[in-house]
Chains A and B, each alone.
Chain A
Amino acid sequence: MPKFWRGVVYSALLLAALYYLLPLYVMVITSVKTMDQIRAGNLLSFPTSISFDAWSKAWSSACTGVECGGLKPFFWNSVRMVIPAVLISTSLGALNGYILSKWRFPHSELTFALILFGVFIPFQVVLLPMAQTLGWFGIARSVTGLVFVHCVFGLASTTLFFRNYYVGIPDELIKAARLDGAGFWRIFFRIVLPMSTPIVMVVLIWQFTQIWNDFLFGVVFSSGDSQPITVGLNNLANTSTTVKEYNVDMSAALIAALPTILVYVFAGKYFVRGLTAGAVKG
């Protein structure tokens, strides 16, 4: 490629990167400015001094409605929700995928198609029946209820991910293990699961992001002390005091986004690798 065109390509890429990074830049610098600096400068100007007051306010003392405890309780609600929900939905997805690809039963393909249906159902449709179900189970408006909801709706996509990955594992491996005397669980834990690291990483990241960032289920199925961080952020930004504290809002938004960003930073390479790792080489 001639040098000129290479230059054009890189310029375009650089421009696109800048364009996408700009909001993050604005958020980060605004969050470390004081309100005076925000009023004095413009949106893009660099802070004259760096202050983390807004961060600590957003974390522990900003008002979210009548309560003024910051995002902290919401953050821990999210943690208590996301960890079990991710682990349970990933485990069940792995098991489903293993059964649907390696222990076919009559109409297992139909079963898979029906599960797949869950990927395409708009969540708004199921809000009312789900609210009723949670009521029957006695877990309405609780973190447990949210975990349940996320497990149920995560199952479709986790099953899809695992099933498609396991289809690529040769059936002969399962046959060999059966002849070696291994049963359903031993084959799963000793042969199949150790081969699954890439897809496990993909599903963990996927589920973590989905569940952490969910707002709809959080706002509908929780209340008071069970609300997740997305709801907390919404309440914080919507609670009007005399002045709009942009630095606190930005800090709060960054706090809410931080876990997913960190997951991508530390596990992102597995994500890309897992998505591209199709067939398992024998």
Chain B
Amino acid sequence: MGALAIKNVTKSFGDTHILKGIDIEIDSGQFLILVGPSGCGKSTLMNIIAGLEAPTTGEVHIGDRMVNNIAPKDRDIAMVFQSYALYPTMNVRQNIAFGMETRGVPKKEQEEIIARVAKMLQMDHLLDRKPSQLSGGQRQRVAMGRALARDPILFLFDEPLSNLDAKLRVEMRTEIKQLHHRLKTTIVYVTHDQIEAMTLGDKIAVMKDGVIQQFGSPQEIYEQPANLFVASFIGSPSMNFIPCHLAEQAGQIGVSLQSEGEARFVPLPNAAKLAGQVGKKVILGLRPEQFDAVENSENSLACKVHLTEPTGPDTMVLTQLNGIEICARLHPRDAKGPGETVRLKPDMTKAVVFDAETETRLA
């Protein structure tokens, strides 16, 4: 049995169904990300894992125990909250000690643990300060210290970086990942930020409307999104979705791409999965980095540049394909200015195809 298993968990308030049957299982030491837009039920699921809310149906297993009827404090978990939830009237030392005090950890052991945690997070000098005397990053650190002092079998992080500024967020992200490498404790991490999801997770559960849309490794989710929602949610800038019809030409199944009055048939990989569906309306998904600027090639299309967004290493070029605005990530040297024409060659080996009606991936 894994470190955490969620079995067919649902949560309803009257006729409002927040979670509609969640199944997740991860191994010990894994970093699980619950990601999705606000209102998708990820925080509710987190509260159910923590025991702060009860599931309507289903089971939660932590370690080898079914914990549905076990109080939060006895689940051997520790949680870091978005607002840090530091006790404002206690100093840092007391904040960290509070949980140990309630659990009856001997005073001497408490002090050892506080010293160890403070050293690990480099916050020795903050121990006697009140939360109001700390910066956002320091509060975040203390909140993590409080969780670490618990030495649990499962860490829960509820959007812990959302209240930090952009620079600090990236630093703390790295720090959390390093911490995980060092401790090898199982972590469940809730976020709405797809970059945090990609950079931190061993496993990602993408949620929407109380349903897990896809559960897999970051790379799987990025390269083989299960449906249109996952494809659009993960990746920045977002994947380009080009509506087209499946066609057959010279024995190959592909789609027709048009730009500036020029149409070109491009064959699709995984054609076997698409056999017999010629003529079907589909959506071709191409990530911005799957475009190359070329001088002249038979599989390229001339596209008029509408706008460029240089990011430094790459330049985002906004143009049109099949009448839809698309974004291509090009090397700055290849990017043309607005109004000029660039020849784009799509890398079809990683292209994905979605059913235009059901929005699930066909190939």
Which of A's residues lie within 8 Å of B, judged by CB?
170, 172-173, 175-182, 186, 190-191, 194-195, 280-282
| Contact residue among B86, B99, B103 (Cβ-Cβ distance under 8 Å from A282) | B86
**Across the interface, do A282 and B102 meet the contact criterion of CB distance under 8 Å?**
no
- A-B contact number at CB 8 A: 63
**Across the interface, do A190 and B98 meet the contact criterion of CB distance under 8 Å?**
yes
Separation of A191 and B85 alpha carbons in the complex (Å): 11
For the complex formed, measure the closest distance between the CB of B329 and the CB atoms of chain A, giving whole angstroms: 39
Question: In this complex, which of A191, A195, A280, A281 has the most chain B Cβ atoms within 10 angstroms of its Cβ?
Answer: A191
A282-B84 contact in complex given A178-B73, A181-B103, A195-B89, C-beta closer than 8 Å: yes
Separation of A39 and B47 alpha carbons in the complex (Å): 78
Residues of chain B within 8 A (CB-CB) of A177 are 87, 98
Separation of A134 and B85 alpha carbons in the complex (Å): 46
Q: Which 8 A-B pairs have the closest CB atoms?
A: A180-B99, A181-B73, A181-B102, A176-B85, A194-B89, A172-B85, A172-B81, A173-B85
For the complex formed, measure the closest distance between the CB of A64 and the CB atoms of chain B, giving whole angstroms: 48
B70-117 interface with A by 8 A CB criterion: 72-73, 77-79, 81-90, 98-99, 102-103
Separation of A131 and B159 alpha carbons in the complex (Å): 57
Separation of A175 and B99 alpha carbons in the complex (Å): 12
Separation of A186 and B81 alpha carbons in the complex (Å): 20
| Contact residue among A175, A181, A191, A282 (Cβ-Cβ distance under 8 Å from B79) | A175
A182-B72 contact in complex given A172-B83, A280-B88, A281-B132, C-beta closer than 8 Å: no
A181-B52 contact in complex given A170-B83, A195-B88, C-beta closer than 8 Å: no
If over half of A's interface residues share one DSSP class (helix, strand or loop), that class is named, otherwise mixed; here it is helix
Residues of chain B within 8 A (CB-CB) of A179 are 50, 52, 72-73, 77-79, 99
**Across the interface, do B102 and A180 meet the contact criterion of CB distance under 8 Å?**
yes
A sample of 13 cross-chain residue pairs with beta-carbon separation below 8 angstroms, ordered by A number, consists of A172-B83, A173-B87, A175-B50, A175-B52, A175-B79, A176-B85, A177-B87, A178-B52, A179-B77, A181-B102, A181-B103, A282-B83, A282-B86
B210 close to A (CB within 8 Å) = no
Separation of A281 and B72 alpha carbons in the complex (Å): 26
B243 close to A (CB within 8 Å) = no
A182-B82 contact in complex given A195-B88, A195-B89, A280-B88, C-beta closer than 8 Å: no
Separation of A190 and B102 alpha carbons in the complex (Å): 11
A180-B132 contact in complex given A175-B81, A282-B85, C-beta closer than 8 Å: no
For the complex formed, measure the closest distance between the CB of A211 and the CB atoms of chain B, giving whole angstroms: 29
Residues of chain B within 8 A (CB-CB) of A175 are 47, 50, 52, 79, 81, 85
**B338-354 contact mask (Cβ, 8 Å, vs A): 1 or 0:** 00000000000000000
Separation of A190 and B132 alpha carbons in the complex (Å): 18
Separation of A281 and B77 alpha carbons in the complex (Å): 27
B152's closest neighbor in chain A, by CB?
A179
**Across the interface, do B82 and A172 meet the contact criterion of CB distance under 8 Å?**
yes
B288 close to A (CB within 8 Å) = no
B87's closest neighbor in chain A, by CB?
A191
For the complex formed, measure the closest distance between the CB of A148 and the CB atoms of chain B, giving whole angstroms: 33
For the complex formed, measure the closest distance between the CB of B114 and the CB atoms of chain A, giving whole angstroms: 14
Separation of A201 and B102 alpha carbons in the complex (Å): 29
Residues of chain A within 8 A (CB-CB) of B98 are 177, 180, 182, 190
A-B contacts besides A170-B83, A195-B88, 4 pairs, CB < 8 Å:
A172-B82, A175-B85, A181-B102, A194-B89
**Across the interface, do A282 and B131 meet the contact criterion of CB distance under 8 Å?**
yes
Separation of A191 and B87 alpha carbons in the complex (Å): 6
Separation of A178 and B70 alpha carbons in the complex (Å): 13
Separation of A190 and B98 alpha carbons in the complex (Å): 9
Residues of chain A within 8 A (CB-CB) of B79 are 175-176, 179
Residues of chain B within 8 A (CB-CB) of A181 are 73, 99, 102-103
For the complex formed, measure the closest distance between the CB of B237 and the CB atoms of chain A, giving whole angstroms: 33
A175's closest neighbor in chain B, by CB?
B52
Residues of chain B within 8 A (CB-CB) of A280 are 88
For the complex formed, measure the closest distance between the CB of B87 and the CB atoms of chain A, giving whole angstroms: 5
Residues of chain A within 8 A (CB-CB) of B88 are 195, 280-282
Residues of chain A within 8 A (CB-CB) of B132 are 281
Residues of chain B within 8 A (CB-CB) of A172 are 81-83, 85
For the complex formed, measure the closest distance between the CB of B320 and the CB atoms of chain A, giving whole angstroms: 46
Question: In this complex, which of A172, A173, A178, A179 has the most chain B Cβ atoms within 10 angstroms of its Cβ?
Answer: A179
Separation of A186 and B103 alpha carbons in the complex (Å): 12
Residues of chain B within 8 A (CB-CB) of A191 are 87, 89
Residues of chain A within 8 A (CB-CB) of B73 are 178-182
Residues of chain B within 8 A (CB-CB) of A186 are 102
Separation of A176 and B82 alpha carbons in the complex (Å): 11
**Across the interface, do A182 and B102 meet the contact criterion of CB distance under 8 Å?**
yes
Residues of chain A within 8 A (CB-CB) of B103 are 181
Question: In this complex, which of A173, A175, A186 has the most chain B Cβ atoms within 10 angstroms of its Cβ?
Answer: A175
Separation of A173 and B79 alpha carbons in the complex (Å): 11
Separation of A142 and B139 alpha carbons in the complex (Å): 54
Separation of A280 and B87 alpha carbons in the complex (Å): 11
For the complex formed, measure the closest distance between the CB of B148 and the CB atoms of chain A, giving whole angstroms: 13
**B237-266 contact mask (Cβ, 8 Å, vs A): 1 or 0:** 000000000000000000000000000000
Residues of chain A within 8 A (CB-CB) of B78 are 179
A190's closest neighbor in chain B, by CB?
B98
For the complex formed, measure the closest distance between the CB of B137 and the CB atoms of chain A, giving whole angstroms: 14
For the complex formed, measure the closest distance between the CB of B362 and the CB atoms of chain A, giving whole angstroms: 43
**B41-79 contact mask (Cβ, 8 Å, vs A): 1 or 0:** 000000100101000000000000000000011000111
